[in-house]
């Protein structure tokens, strides 16, 4: 009879993933890291749509990085509680692209 011990995930795993998401995926434009950070069925909610999947997430990030050429995110606080992680962050960049995409949105801006 063999015995194996399965350890719980490190309590800092969620915090490290959030930091990697902002520092590498967003700020350094390494969208390929989405495969390591998110599940394949990730859901992306925006003001006007909902999409699903890693390709949708990567596309959203690229679209935002294109619209805001020097986009940088700053994570101010990360709360890690068991398997739930929340982050308070801000983003700043210069609008150089074509967001909003629709004329009806431009009228609201």
The DSSP string of 47-66 is SS-EEESHHHHHHHHHHHHH
Give the residue from 62, 78, 61 showing the smallest Cα distance to 19.
Answer: 78
Six-digit token string for 49? 């749509």
Q: Name the DSSP class of 95.
A: B
Q: Is the pLDDT of residue 12 over 90?
A: no
pLDDT band at 26 (very low <50, low <70, confident <90, very high): very high
Give the domain 13-108 fold. Nuclear Transport Factor 2; Chain: A, (3.10.450)
Q: List Cα–Cα distances, 76 to 20, 48, 73, in angstroms.
A: 14, 26, 10
Taking residues 20-44, report their average pLDDT. 95
| The model scores a pTM over 0.85 | no
């Amino acid at each position: 009879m063999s015995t194996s011990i399965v350890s719980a995930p490190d309590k800092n795993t969620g915090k490290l993933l959030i930091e990697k998401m902002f520092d590498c995926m967003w700020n350094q434009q390494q969208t390929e890291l989405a495969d390591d950070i998110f599940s394949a069925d990730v859901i992306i909610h925006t003001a006007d749509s909902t999409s699903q999947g890693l390709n949708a997430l990567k596309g959203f990030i690229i679209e935002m990085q294109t619209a805001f050429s020097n986009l940088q995110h700053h994570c101010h606080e990360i709360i890690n509680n068991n398997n739930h992680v929340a982050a308070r962050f801000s983003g700043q960049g210069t609008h150089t692209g074509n967001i909003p995409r629709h004329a009806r949105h431009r009228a609201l801006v």
